[in-house]
Structure 1
């Protein structure tokens, strides 16, 4: 099982449903990827905060929706890493794609978790990763539109 510690910047407020969905997504991904006894930190931030991280670690001077930072191997077998999600970007994208904020935030958490589980992509989406994201969302009953 993947255990998620969910945190938010002081001024950001999370709906309880979002936390429940994320914990359920962790359980689904844990079974899907055969990952057990792991812990992950999921931190919700605003655009200025994630922009700073994106510039510092990826050299991109703009906000992004989600960043995943895997723990260096061998340091702690129980800790997968950290995921930072911009609630500002999640709100923008939920509106753009015509679905709920819950669905967008959970999608971003799933995306980050799959990165920590070893899935990668460049600018274009990884079809195998996208298939897994959709499978988890379907299991949670979260759909587009």
Structure 2
């Protein structure tokens, strides 16, 4: 899978970008995502994500991550049409909110960005949390993947 980073504010250093990419590639492999699939990850401020949330989702509030899928999903599977590279979509992460949540949850900023990226990728792959059951399944899956990768949630 090809990951294109937009990091205009230099909010994440190269080591963090590499960690996020490694986590995304790990999950993509576990989810059997095609190797030529592409996605974009943008790191933005609270103000920028609030504007995006307001414009595209009608919610005038800061959030931590937003995903915009480019593929249609059915029964949790990506529907592939043609032989073009698969454009999964965009993941937009508020770095400000990521820092706040890392402190709130008692783990590293890097772990929080990896969590948010994992959450965004699962959305692009068709997972959602509109019902309590779906939420339990999605969050369990992302925690499982992060733990298996070596980034378990710390508890204090």
Secondary structure of the 1:126 match is helix
Query: Equivalent residues in 2 for 1:131-142 (5 A)?
Result: 131-142=140-151
Distance in structure 2 (CA, Å) of the matches to 1:90 and 1:35: 26
Quick check: 115-124 or 96-105, which moved more? 115-124
Deviation track 1:37-82 (CA, whole Å, cap 9, x = no partner) reads: 2000000000110000101111111110000001154596521000
Q: Which runs of 4+ in 1 moved over 4 A?
A: 72-77
Deviates more, 1:102-111 or 1:76-85: 76-85
The equivalences for 1:64-75 within 5 A come to 64-73=63-72
For the pair 1:102 / 2:110, whether they are aligned, the reply is yes
Q: Which digits, 9 at most, give the CA deviation of each residue in 1:80-135, with x for residues without a partner?
A: 00000000000010000000000000000000000001101127571221122112
Moved more, 27-36 or 98-107: 27-36
Q: Which runs of 5+ in 1 are unaligned?
A: none
Query: In the aligned structure 2, how far is the partner of 1:72 from the partner of 1:34?
Result: 15
Q: Report the counterpart of residue 115 of structure 1 in structure 2.
A: 123
**Distance in 1 between the 2:119 and 2:148 partners?**
15
Question: CA–CA distance in 2 between the matches of 1:17 and 1:138?
Answer: 19
- Other-structure match for 1:33: 31
Question: How many residues of Structure 1 are paired with residues of Structure 2 in the alignment?
Answer: 143
Larger Rg: 2
After superposing the two structures, state which structure 1 stretch, 88-97 or 28-37, moved more: 28-37
| TM-score, normalising length: structure 1 | 0.89
Match of 2:50 in 1: 51
